[in-house]
Structure 1
Amino acid sequence: MPHLLRAMALLGVLLVAQGVSAQKLRIAGDAWAPYSDVSLLNGGLSTDLVRTALSRAGYTTEYEQVPWARAIHGLSEGRYDVLINAWYSEERTRIGQFSGEYLLNKLRFLKRKSTDIEYRNLAQLHPYSIAVVRSYAYAPAFDNDVDLKKVPVASFSTAVRMLAAGRVDLAVEDEYAARFALSREPDEVRDNIVFVPKSLSENGLHILVSLKNPDHDKIVADFDNAIAAMKADGSYDKLFKLHDL
């Protein structure tokens, strides 16, 4: 009996130590279906991938869905440890450390069916107004082109409604996210919008870990290793199927 009690006590100590050592990360993202949205299964594909990878790496997570600008600001101040959906930009390296690419997004322009706008290069688009979501980074050439007439908006839903109403000439968004959003818009919006042939860019999707977290290097390394392991054992692909992507 004494041996059993000692074994149980040791197990209790180990469990307590494990609980203490598991770092709880405050993670954030905006509503960007089908990748992140609290109304979707497990919060959407990106949310599911990130939380699963971090869990496998030994972290616990607490997720908060907030507007994109608030998520970026919160990460810069250290209120959030991890931003789950981030495209690379040099400016963001001042507030966080990027993981490796864990998803790939294809950026497409959208226009009204009644227009004949074509896209072969950015110079062709200088005459047109383009709705862009505030604080989003799209592609370096696009972001840095000061001759483009960019109209900042709060969300892609706002952008596409302005586009349908003729208040802007173009909008830009990840293809899957745009298709998902359009499927939930009124007929007069959805049926009036088409994709412009040719992608603006293909962007790797990363997590961005706040530099305010002293363990940012380790969190990024642990996440990258967990994603690699998930790809190797098939669980990565299973999550895509679970989310019908």
Structure 2
Amino acid sequence: MFTLRHCLLLASLMFVGVSSANTVKLANGEWAPYQSKSLKNGGFISQLVQEAFEAEGYQVEYTYMPWKRGFEESKAGKLDGSLIWSKNPEREQFFHYSDPVITLSTSLFQRKDKPVTWRAREDLSAFKVGGVTGYAYGIEDLEKDGTIKIQRISSAENNYKKLAAGRLDIVLEDTDVGLETINKLNLTGKLEPNDKTLTARDYFVIISKKSPRAQELVDAFNRGLMKLKEQGKLDKYREASIRGEYKQ
């Protein structure tokens, strides 16, 4: 005979089963200002991805780990997937890609009173260009052959100070990172990104082909993402991030 206790236990087990089935386990990584354990809501991209799944009835469980480990554990099916990644042939062997979450670009930051004019990458050889040691900007081939000289230093913030002082003509930087940095340094009245971006690349949520719900999760995420973008959430969160509102 079933007692009230048995009924409650059965209901609890059923709830756990449903809850588990609706949980998406994703590897997350450190890439401020987009995603980071130290940022409010994990950064605006983490928030966007979570809310896109939630819009379709799924709950997201993030596990923060080094990028390589997150990739390998997702690839093996230990996690459903990871965020956010660009496309390449190797990854496409093991993962399904969502619709593009965001397009990220490398900008040429310049002084507002001294904008630069350029058409091709080679034109940058005429300018004093600042960058950060170890960073890739998509023109390393021209740097290697000596066509462009990038004055690389360890501190990104110091590059903007040098630009504001007229010691550089251009600072190469991820657009959102640069905008956040000049806002932090109170240089928005002096510095800006050039209208023409240097490079642009789409980034995606990747879902492991070993996940038994792979296509289901991709389809659900794409539907939720479309809803959020139509509501203007991506632009809203991105602008808030640039203003520094995700810093804790």
Q: 1:181 to 1:162 in 2, by over 3 A?
A: closer
Alignment-mate amino acid for residue 146 of structure 1: D
The match for 2:204 among 196, 203, 206 is 206
Secondary structure of 1:161 counterpart: helix
Q: 1:162 to 1:244 in 2, by over 3 A?
A: closer
The match for 2:70 among 59, 71, 75 is 75
Query: Aligned-pair distance for 1:50?
Result: 0.6
> How many Å separate the matches in 1 of 2:89 and 2:115?
34
> How many Å separate the matches in 2 of 1:135 and 1:89?
19
Alignment-mate amino acid for residue 171 of structure 1: L
Which residue matches 1:222?
A: 220
Deviations 1:24-77, CA, capped at 9 Å, x for gaps: 5132132322x334454322321111112234452431242x6xxx42x22332
> How many Å separate the matches in 2 of 1:27 and 1:158?
29
**Residues 1-245 of structure 1 correspond to what in structure 2 (within 5 A)?**
8=8, 11-33=11-33, 35-55=34-54, 56-64=56-64, 70-71=66-67, 73-78=68-73, 82-90=81-89, 92-93=91-92, 96-111=95-110, 117-126=116-125, 131=131, 142=138, 146-148=141-143, 149=148, 158-162=155-159, 164-165=161-162, 170-174=171-175, 176-185=176-185, 193-210=191-208, 215-231=213-229, 234=231, 237-238=232-233, 240-241=235-236, 245=240
Larger CA deviation: 126-135 vs 102-111: 126-135
Secondary structure of 1:183 counterpart: helix
- What TM-score, normalized by structure 1, do the two folds share? 0.65
- What TM-score, normalized by structure 2, do the two folds share? 0.64
Larger CA deviation: 97-106 vs 212-221: 212-221
Q: Is the 8 A contact 1:41 1:243 kept in 2?
A: no
> How many Å separate the matches in 1 of 2:84 and 2:151?
19
Larger CA deviation: 176-185 vs 91-100: 91-100
CA RMSD of the aligned region, Å?
4.3
Alignment-mate amino acid for residue 181 of structure 1: T
Secondary structure of 1:26 counterpart: strand
Instruction: Structure 1 unaligned segments of length 5 or more: list them.
Output: none
Query: Aligned-pair distance for 1:244?
Result: 5.1
